[in-house]
Amino acid sequence: MAAPGMGVWQHAGGLDMLHDLQAAVSEYIGWLQLEANRSPNTVRAYQSELARLTSFLAANGHSLALGDLRHEDLRAYQRHLAGRLKGPASRARALVAIRSWLRWLAREGFMERDLSNGITLPKL
Q: Where are the domains of the chain?
A: 9-118
Amino acid at 48: S
Burial of 108 (0-12, 13-18, 19+ CB in 10 A): middle
- The CATH fold assigned to 9-118 is DNA polymerase; domain 1 (1.10.150)
Higher pLDDT, 79 or 4: 79
**Prediction pTM value:** 0.82
- Tell me the three-class secondary structure of 105-122, residue by residue: HHHCCCCCCCHHHHCCCC
Quick one: pLDDT at residue 52?
96
Q: How far is CA 17 from the centre of its chain?
A: 15
In whole angstroms, what is the distance from residue 9 CA to residue 18 CA? 5
Amino acid at 68: D
SS3 10: strand
Q: Which of 81, 83, 105 is nearest to 95 (CA)?
A: 81
Mean pLDDT of 88-110: 94
